[in-house]
């Protein structure tokens, strides 16, 4: 019986060394530039370029805003979702990849430029049709959206609008308010409150995704250990540090999509 504690202590000493050896080898799953990135090449690069979880996340803001309007028009919501899918899901992400290749895709520069330009033009066209058919009051939102995409993703003006606050405004509050306004055509507290909530959700997203991206894309090694109250020593590795960040991001994007779908279903 006296040998059991020594066996447990020996195992406790071996586990940190095993984790340190794994850290030196580098966890294979962290070789990808994002937790949702597919293996590089061909059509997979196009899928990765869309940042599917984040695109779905920000489209859910459009739906949440629409659900807060006094009356929800399905065709207006559909048009708004299509416009943001083109502007944010395709154009903004293509420009982002053009500016530094953060996703390490093999897509050519010409293709990225074509995707960005055509998608933004398509989004603006949808907005112009909306301004003509629904209300000229939408024109301001169309112009603002068309300016935000290149300004943020190409870091124009010395990157003054490329920061966490502008991210939350452009990809959180703006989609939510637009989804609300295209249905309400007026400003009421419900629309403002939903936009504010989506702003804060985007702040939370940024505070999780920034360190997660840093671990995947910029970290060569992690050194250190965590000592628990019972004396257990846990080696700190990139995988251990990234797991709760990316786990929270995965849960949040899916929960917001389901929440938005449920609220829209109630309103239709």
Residue 25: inside a domain:
yes
Residue 1: inside a domain:
no
Residue 102: inside a domain:
yes
Residue 125: inside a domain:
yes
Residue 140: inside a domain:
yes
pLDDT tens for residues 161-190?
Answer: 889 999 999 999 999 999 999 999 999 999
Q: What is the mean pLDDT of the chain?
A: 88
Given this model, what pLDDT does residue 21 score?
Answer: 47
Backbone angles phi, psi at 235, to 5 degrees: -70, 135
Given this model, what pLDDT does residue 29 score?
Answer: 61
Residue 80: inside a domain:
yes
| Helix segments in 154-237, DSSP class H | 156-159, 164-168, 174-184, 189-217
pLDDT tens for residues 225-243?
Answer: 999 999 899 998 888 999 9
**Other beta carbons within 10 Å of 223:** 9
Give the pTM: 0.85
Given this model, what pLDDT does residue 31 score?
Answer: 81
**Other beta carbons within 10 Å of 24:** 9
- Number of domains the chain is built from: 1
Residue 126: inside a domain:
yes
In percent, the amount of the chain with pLDDT more than 70 equals 89
Buried/exposed 152-190: b ≥16 CB within 10 Å, e otherwise? bbbbeeeeebbeeeebbbbbbbbbbbbbbbbbbeeeeee
Closest C-alpha among 150, 146, 140 to residue 177: 140
Q: Which structural domain, as residue segments, surrounds residue 67?
A: 16-267
| pLDDT level of residue 263 (50, 70, 90 thresholds) | very high
Whether 2 has a pLDDT exceeding 50, the answer reads: no
Residue 9: inside a domain:
no
**Other beta carbons within 10 Å of 103:** 21
| pLDDT level of residue 4 (50, 70, 90 thresholds) | very low
| 7-16, 25-34, 116-125: least confidently modelled range | 7-16
Q: Sort residue 12 into left (φ over 0), alpha (ψ -120 to 50) or beta.
A: alpha
DSSP 225: E
Given this model, what pLDDT does residue 223 score?
Answer: 87
Task: Give SS3 for 70.
Answer: coil
| pLDDT level of residue 40 (50, 70, 90 thresholds) | confident
């Amino acid at each position: 019986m006296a040998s059991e504690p020594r066996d447990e202590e020996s195992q406790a000493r071996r586990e940190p060394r095993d984790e340190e050896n794994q850290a030196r080898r580098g966890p294979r799953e962290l070789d990808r530039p994002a937790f949702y990135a597919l293996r590089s090449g061909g059509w997979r690069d196009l899928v990765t370029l869309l940042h599917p979880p984040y695109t779905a996340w920000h489209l859910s803001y459009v739906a949440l805003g629409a659900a807060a309007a006094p009356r929800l028009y399905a065709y207006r919501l559909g048009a708004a979702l299509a416009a943001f899918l083109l502007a944010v899901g395709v154009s903004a992400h293509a420009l982002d990849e053009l500016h530094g290749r953060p996703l390490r895709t093999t897509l050519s520069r010409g293709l990225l430029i074509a995707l960005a330009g055509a998608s933004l033009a398509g989004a603006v066209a949808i907005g112009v049709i909306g301004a003509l058919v629904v209300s000229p009051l939408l024109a301001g939102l169309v112009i603002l959206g068309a300016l935000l995409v290149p300004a943020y993703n190409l870091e124009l003006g010395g990157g003054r609008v490329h920061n966490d606050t502008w991210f939350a405004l452009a990809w959180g509050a703006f989609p939510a308010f637009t989804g609300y306004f295209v249905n309400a055509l007026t400003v009421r507290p419900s629309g403002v409150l939903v936009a504010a909530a989506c702003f804060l959700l985007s702040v939370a997203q940024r505070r999780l995704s920034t360190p997660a991206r840093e671990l995947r894309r910029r970290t060569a090694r992690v050194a250190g250990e965590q000592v628990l109250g019972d004396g257990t020593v846990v080696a700190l590795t990139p995988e251990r540090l990234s797991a709760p960040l990316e786990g929270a991001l995965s849960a949040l994007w899916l929960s917001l999509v389901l929440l938005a779908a449920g609220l829209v279903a109630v309103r239709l």
